[in-house]
């Protein structure tokens, strides 16, 4: 019988670059037309908490503090991962118009592939921080060797199909950098201290952006259609997929780390705040549910609730919530990283293994 470790983290691009560049993100959103220039310039229209975080040094003190909290979280999760020493990782993340484009955008997809290319530092200058400088001084084509676990990926796909989940599978990555950035950044941050990443990975895509995929992610590469696309899979379905995945892994012979990767509310997605800052009030509610292990509430959310709060990517965490509910495991560690000026709230969670791993 398999043992399962649950982890939750963020793939926010900030830790890939020195923190002094982080405050540039808001200006980038203005340049992209997502934040109105007059709103950006008029601090009197900002929430008091946001003004305080920006401070008298244009967010530099806040950036260092936010950076230190995030890096401490990644190091804590890496220590938990190493102590558990899994046979493989199943990671829920979202492909933001990288492998899946206009010809096919599946709600769920498991990658059944050979060892993967992982180049999270490529093309940073076109990203949110407008710099090619990375936190390690590595070349932009730096590749992290990531092994696959094709048997686990294939068997999980078969199990889900048998259980009535019409999951897609992909046997090839066409994104030139291999792993989509949600997965690649997570691997990068879990190896923040450059120890190497020895664990085979099964990437499990959820189409988190749904309605807004073609107006957000596609716009970055100049392929936006300017219209809404069909919605993402519902929180109820993601929760159910998480539960079914956990049942399969619980019956498997492997020690498995299940990881959800995403920030929570994104300012760039929160229309009711004119895309200036995230819905921190909603994030606080969900964090309280996480800490008190009331994760079944997440499966009852509506997709409109998530989208209204800019929490599109929480679908990855909702799948994790379903898995942890299935094995009746509560978190042993959580951390909450709130921010108004760095686009999103980030969280960390550790759900210790319910069964001792067999050696």
pLDDT given for residue 215 in this prediction: 73
Kindly state whether residue 356 falls inside one of the protein's structural domains. Answer: no
C-beta neighbour count of 267 within 10 angstroms = 27
SS3 355: coil
Tokens in use for 212? 């807004």
| Cα gap 293→344, rounded to integer Å | 22
Note down the domain range covering 320.
3-351
Residue 206: φ, ψ to 5° = -125, 130
Question: What torsion, rounded to 10 degrees, do the Cα atoms 104, 162, 302, 325 define?
Answer: -130
Kindly state whether residue 346 falls inside one of the protein's structural domains. Answer: yes
CATH number for 165: 3.40.830.10
Kindly state whether residue 117 falls inside one of the protein's structural domains. Answer: yes
SS3 221: coil
| Cα gap 223→86, rounded to integer Å | 39
Kindly state whether residue 128 falls inside one of the protein's structural domains. Answer: yes
Kindly state whether residue 245 falls inside one of the protein's structural domains. Answer: yes
Q: Mind listing the pLDDT tens digit of every residue in the chain (359 residues)?
A: 679 999 999 999 999 999 999 999 999 999 988 999 999 999 999 999 999 999 999 999 999 999 999 999 999 999 999 999 999 999 999 998 789 988 889 999 999 999 999 999 998 988 889 999 999 999 999 999 999 999 999 999 999 999 999 999 999 999 999 999 999 999 999 999 999 999 999 999 999 987 777 677 656 666 667 777 788 999 999 999 999 999 999 999 999 999 999 999 999 999 999 999 999 999 999 999 999 999 999 999 999 999 999 999 999 999 999 999 999 999 999 999 999 999 999 999 999 996 554 44
Kindly state whether residue 60 falls inside one of the protein's structural domains. Answer: yes
SS3 194: coil
From the list 197, 196, 204, the residue with the least C-alpha distance to 180 is 204
CA 7 to each of CA 95, 180, 292, 337: distance values in angstroms, whole numbers, following the listed order? 19, 19, 16, 16
Q: How many domains does the chain have?
A: 1
| Cα gap 258→260, rounded to integer Å | 7
Element spanning 142, H or E = none
| Cα gap 2→246, rounded to integer Å | 10
Report the phi/psi class of residue 178: left, alpha or beta, with left for phi > 0 and alpha for psi in -120 to 50.
left
Q: Tens of pLDDT along 314-357?
A: 999 999 999 999 999 999 999 999 999 999 999 999 999 965 54
SS3 349: strand
The pTM assigned to this predicted structure is 0.95
Kindly state whether residue 222 falls inside one of the protein's structural domains. Answer: yes
Element spanning 238, H or E = helix 235-251
Q: Tens of pLDDT along 94-105?
A: 998 789 988 889
In the chain, the N- to C-terminal Cα span, in Å, equals 12
Residue found under tokens 């048998």: 162
pLDDT given for residue 93 in this prediction: 98
Burial 162-195, CB ≥16 within 10 A → b, else e: eeebebebbeebebebbbbbbbbbbbbbbbbeee
**Which residues fall within 8 angstroms of residue 10, CB to CB, at 6 or more apart?**
70, 261, 262, 263, 337, 344, 346, 347, 348
pLDDT given for residue 69 in this prediction: 98
Kindly state whether residue 226 falls inside one of the protein's structural domains. Answer: yes
């Amino acid at each position: 019988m398999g043992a399962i470790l649950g982890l939750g983290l963020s793939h926010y691009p900030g830790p890939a670059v020195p923190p002094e560049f982080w405050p540039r993100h808001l200006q980038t959103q203005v340049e992209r037309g997502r934040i109105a220039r007059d709103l950006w310039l008029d601090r009197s229209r900002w929430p008091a908490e946001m003004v305080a975080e920006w401070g008298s040094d244009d967010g530099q003190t806040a950036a260092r503090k936010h950076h230190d909290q995030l890096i401490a979280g990644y190091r804590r999760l890496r220590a938990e991962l190493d102590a558990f020493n899994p046979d493989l990782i199943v990671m829920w993340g979202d492909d933001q118009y990288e492998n899946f484009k206009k010809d096919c955008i599946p709600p769920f997809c498991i990658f059944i592939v050979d060892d993967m290319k992982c180049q999270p530092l490529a093309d940073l200058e076109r990203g949110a921080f407008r710099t090619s400088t990375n936190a390690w001084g590595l070349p932009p084509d730096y590749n992290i060797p990531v092994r696959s676990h094709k048997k686990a990926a294939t068997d999980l796909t078969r199990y889900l199909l048998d259980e009535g989940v019409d999951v897609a599978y992909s046997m090839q990555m066409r994104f030139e950098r291999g792993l989509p950035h949600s997965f690649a950044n997570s691997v990068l941050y879990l190896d923040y201290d450059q120890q190497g990443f020895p664990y085979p990975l099964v990437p499990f895509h959820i189409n988190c952006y749904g309605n807004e995929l073609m107006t957000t992610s596609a716009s970055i590469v100049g392929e936006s259609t300017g219209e809404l696309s069909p919605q993402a899979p519902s929180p109820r379905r993601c929760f159910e997929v998480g539960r079914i995945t956990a049942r399969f892994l619980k019956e498997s012979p492997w020690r498995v780390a299940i990881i959800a990767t995403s920030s929570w509310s994104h300012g760039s997605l929160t229309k009711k705040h004119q895309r200036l800052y995230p819905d921190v009030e909603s994030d606080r509610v969900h964090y309280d549910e996480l800490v008190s292990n009331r994760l079944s509430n997440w499966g009852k959310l509506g997709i409109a609730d998530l989208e209204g709060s800019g929490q599109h990517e929480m679908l990855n965490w909702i799948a994790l919530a379903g898995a942890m509910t299935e094995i009746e495991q509560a978190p042993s560690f959580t951390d909450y990283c709130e921010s108004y000026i760095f686009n999103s709230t980030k969280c960390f969670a550790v759900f210790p293994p319910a069964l001792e791993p067999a050696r």
